[in-house]
């Protein structure tokens, strides 16, 4: 799947769906994006996605690194 989406690394979170009107949709996250880092910290076995999210509180703004169409992109999102 990573190869199909143009993602070189095999760690990250695949976005299967984005619900209209949510913070993710408003920030510009799209279906088939792969989130590879939060605030520059790579999502991997040592720092999994949910573990990283638990370090923030509602209202915090974070920078997500996503791969879209094989190209990295940074998106700011308010939790």
Q: Report the distance separating Cα 27 and Cα 76, nearest Å.
A: 7
Q: Report the distance separating Cα 8 and Cα 27, nearest Å.
A: 24
Tokens coding 13? 């979170």
Q: Which CATH number is 18's domain given?
A: 2.30.42.10
Nearest to 74, CA basis, from 44, 42, 46, 35: 35
Tokens coding 26? 């408003």
Number of domains in the chain: 1
Query: What's the domain range around 69?
Result: 2-78
For residue 39, the surrounding DSSP H or E stretch is none
Q: Are 63 and 38 in contact (CB under 8 A)?
A: yes
pLDDT tens, N- to C-terminus, the chain (79 residues): 666 766 666 678 889 999 999 989 999 999 999 999 999 999 988 788 888 889 999 999 999 999 998 889 999 999 8
């Amino acid at each position: 799947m990573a190869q199909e989406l143009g993602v070189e690394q095999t760690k990250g979170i695949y976005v299967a769906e984005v619900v209209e009107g949510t913070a993710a949709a408003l920030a510009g996250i799209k279906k088939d994006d792969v989130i590879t880092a939060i605030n520059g910290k790579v999502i991997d076995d040592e720092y999994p996605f949910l573990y990283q999210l638990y370090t923030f509180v509602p209202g915090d703004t974070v920078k997500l690194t996503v791969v879209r169409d094989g190209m990295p992109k940074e998106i700011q999102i308010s939790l």
